[in-house]
Amino acid sequence: MDWPRIRAVWKRVIALAWPVMAEQTFRTLMRTVDVIVTATFNPASVVAIGLADLYARMPLRIGLGLGGGTIALSSQDSGAAAEANRDEAITQGILLGALLGIPFMLLGFFLSEPAIRVFGAGQDVENLEHVVALGSTYLAIIFATAPARHVALIGARALQGTGDTRTPMYVNVVANAMNIVGSVALGFGFAPLGIPRLEIVGVGVATAVANVFTATMLCLAIWTDWSDASFSRPRDFVIARQLVVVSAPKVAEGFASTIAEFPFNAILLGFGQPVNAGFQIGRRMYQQVTGPLSRGYNVAASVVVGQRLGEGDADGARFEGWAVAGLGLVTVGSVGVGLVFAADAFVSLFTSNPETVTYAVAFAQVYGICGAALVVFSVLSGGLQGASETRIPFVARTTGVFGLQLGLTFLLGVVLGWGPLGAYVGIGATYVWMALVVAGGFHVTGWADRAAEMMEERGSDVTIWG
């Protein structure tokens, strides 16, 4: 085993990944503060923001999907020193994202009320009207900045593809800090400064302002000499088509995962409310301690694999992809093992209900045991994304969440009567399956040739060797 080479890759990956990890940590903190602030108003506000966030995930999925396509082309063309194609790919990705945000603006303006009301069957009429009023207003505010949210997500990944992971971190850390302060100030009000108490509207306005700020600052970074990337006049339809081809499976993967959440949560509720609450707490715990690490490694893998392919070094791309996976196993895998033994202590921070605690500990331990599989999936999905191959992660996740997390849980838990144990098995089997599929795809499929063909088609000529 070539340890000096592996250590060199790990050193570069850590340099690329830590800003993404820091950024994600602040993003998670911002969402936590939003929930805490909203919970102080009234129960209807918590329900309203929860329902609205189900819809708010849609622009998130589109932005992340287009960002995946943009980081693929950006990293490859950076490695190939094809600056003109890289800049046009970045420009087209951002423009496409802005345009795809407009339908959400219209949805928020015209249809936010019926969108929230659809969840109200069987609820108390008076309470339902309160939730609809709050949720529809919040959703309209969030959707008003959907184009900016898309631009922010795509712009960040465009810069990351060039190897600049620090600029998106600087911008997003400031934006998330603004969001936190704004949520507290506008939510509760501050009379000495003349700031009114807007409650859930204030939380929405703070998020909307942060979205616009992030998009504006990242576009300025690209437009000015701050970054290596630049904007250019869109001319090449081939680049636009490739962005869609690479991004579409990533978008579909995100939507599939979101759709599967609804029936899966319904199954858990069928086992009892403490089971569902335990699942939410256990998963949140795992995401809190490992999410930033996994996202950082995912982005770093996209960058190093894409840039190596741009340089024409297929063997180097493959080696570095596996090296990042190894680093993820060492770090995230160790955290997962630690969570298995520390789950009781962590759960006590979230709830004291004995029945909920039991299930929360069990779900947290399941996620901890699956930590190695989860990080392998995340890293190698990032590597394949850097090679413009997003179809394999789509197949892995879609078959996993529908066939195993949903299907196997229903079979074992409901049909065979295993109850929550069926969910533990279903979740574990899902992530092992997803890891095996992407690992097999990364090892045996011709993603290097696919990347070379796409680069040649758009004029970023390179000869893949190895």
User: Residue 127: its pLDDT value, please?
Assistant: 66
User: Residue 7: its pLDDT value, please?
Assistant: 92
Question: How many CB atoms neighbour CB 148 within 10 A?
Answer: 24
- List all residues 6 or more positions away from 341 whose beta carbon is below 8 Å from its beta carbon: none
Token pair belonging to 121: 């069957």
How does pLDDT run across 49-69, given as a tens digit for each residue?
877 887 888 899 999 999 999
Nearest in space to 282 (alpha carbons), one of 418, 427, 434, 430: 427
The structure tokens 């947290």 sit at: 364
Please list the residues that pair with 190 across neighbouring strands. 195
Token pair belonging to 99: 């345009």
- Which segments in the chain show pLDDT lower than 50? 121-122, 125, 464-466
User: Residue 356: its pLDDT value, please?
Assistant: 85
Provide the whole-model pTM.
Answer: 0.88
Q: How far apart are CA 335 and CA 372, in angstroms?
A: 9
User: Residue 465: its pLDDT value, please?
Assistant: 46
User: Residue 126: its pLDDT value, please?
Assistant: 55
User: Residue 142: its pLDDT value, please?
Assistant: 94
Burial of 65 (0-12, 13-18, 19+ CB in 10 A): buried
Compute the 3-state secondary structure of the chain and give helix, strand, coil in percent, each to the nearest 5.
85, 0, 15
Residue 465 three-state SS: strand
- List all residues 6 or more positions away from 293 whose beta carbon is below 8 Å from its beta carbon: 17, 21, 328, 331, 332, 335, 375
User: Residue 31: its pLDDT value, please?
Assistant: 77
User: Residue 122: its pLDDT value, please?
Assistant: 45
Residue 134 three-state SS: helix
Helix segments in 224-350, DSSP class H: 237-271, 273-311, 314-347
* DSSP code, position 224: S
How does pLDDT run across 8-19, given as a tens digit for each residue?
999 999 999 999
